[in-house]
Structure 1
């Protein structure tokens, strides 16, 4: 089974980006949605010295093609993560230019058959907790519902993952689980991550 990968999302502060970057997560996420408390801001720049081995993910909510691709070009993004009501057609158009992650908010009643139409339009899914915000709710969903996902698209697991429940996330042992996505679970405040907590997360992931 391939190594479980690690994504840290909601990064914003340059020193914090580099501090986390020194510990080599597989993916680092930057939020370009203005309503998010982790919005990067209009003058944001990813530090030039951030390792190129870390895939840069831009997070968007209902942005159009041109807005998304402008951010991809400006920030040299490797992946776009779509958290809104983006259509299959938009995903497919973006996929011709950049890797695409489509996020879905999951609860106990989620019907995985409803996302099958996206399978040819994206590279990855992301399953997050259904809540008031478009991600970053700080609460885990019932991961047992993932047993109902029979699709072929690999997925990121997100939603309230922290040091207390990371072990449970790892033990899901779903063949489609490609990466865990950690955000609010290791934060000092929105957009600022605790380096010590992230180090412990990284150690746990790499010990598998």
Structure 2
């Protein structure tokens, strides 16, 4: 696969791990705005981290069914809005128009049918992020360290720009890229020592692995 695969390190919450992601070549960094997540940031903390990010790296805000007040508070710290809840295509279009930012749509996948359905909910999105479908017992809609069978993409590729998430780490991201060929890979729990605790060493290893493919 091409060596131009982009990488988003998501759920960053400390200066040292953010700096590591930038120094080792991340194209995108993710800030989570979801109270139930161990990676949750207040808009104020996100703004402080965002000020450390150079213009060549895009800042992605991850939201789950956000209200307008949260978007208003967080929008200055981000370049891209990622929606990870039950937002409709109408809401997606509204967010893109009102706040003037590109919107990514994340969707849970377990089968080829899920990919086809996700493409419909992503109408108007700049990118569709395919994540492992969270079971009903999972605490979060994403960031659970789960993966789906990447081979299902062989017969059901999205008809738009897309990325791959869910259960990725330095040990399997090479296989994921070779099998699925995404334009972007997105990692969170796979570069952590504990939920919400990012590892500088794991961030470096993940990015170095992608660079060598």
TM-score (norm 2): 0.87
Which of 137, 140, 147 in structure 1 is aligned with 2:147?
140
Which deviates further from its counterpart, 158-167 or 117-126? 117-126
Report whether the alignment pairs 1:181 with 2:182.
no
Number of the residue aligned with 1:152: 159
Q: Take 1:2 and 1:100, find their aligned partners in 2: how far apart are those partners? A: 25
Number of the residue aligned with 2:15: 14
Q: Would the alpha carbon gap of residues 194 and 2 (structure 1) be closer, same or farther in structure 2, given more than 3 Å must change? A: closer
Q: What's the offset of the Cα at 1:55? A: 0.3
Please list every run of 5 or more consecutive structure 1 residues that lacks an aligned counterpart in the other structure.
none
Number of the residue aligned with 2:110: 107
Q: Would the alpha carbon gap of residues 40 and 207 (structure 1) be closer, same or farther in structure 2, given more than 3 Å must change? A: same
Asked whether the 8 Å contact 1:5–1:180 carries over to 2, the reply is yes
Q: Take 1:144 and 1:113, find their aligned partners in 2: how far apart are those partners? A: 15
Q: What's the offset of the Cα at 1:72? A: 1.0
Q: Take 1:192 and 1:51, find their aligned partners in 2: how far apart are those partners? A: 23
Q: What's the offset of the Cα at 1:43? A: 4.0
Number of the residue aligned with 1:125: 128
Asked whether the 8 Å contact 1:10–1:190 carries over to 2, the reply is no
TM-score (norm 1): 0.89
Structure 2 SS opposite 1:46: helix
Structure 1 SS opposite 2:49: coil
Which deviates further from its counterpart, 57-66 or 34-43? 34-43
- Number of equivalences: 204
Higher share of residues assigned helix: 2
Deviation by residue 1:13-71 (Cα, 9 ceiling, x = unmatched): 12321232222300000100001111113641325232221100000001124432431
Q: What's the offset of the Cα at 1:2? A: 7.4
Q: Would the alpha carbon gap of residues 167 and 24 (structure 1) be closer, same or farther in structure 2, given more than 3 Å must change? A: closer
Q: Take 1:48 and 1:183, find their aligned partners in 2: how far apart are those partners? A: 21
Asked whether the 8 Å contact 2:32–2:41 carries over to 1, the reply is yes
Please list every run of 5 or more consecutive structure 2 residues that lacks an aligned counterpart in the other structure.
none
Q: Take 2:118 and 2:6, find their aligned partners in 1: how far apart are those partners? A: 23
Structure 1 SS opposite 2:147: coil
Asked whether the 8 Å contact 2:174–2:210 carries over to 1, the reply is no
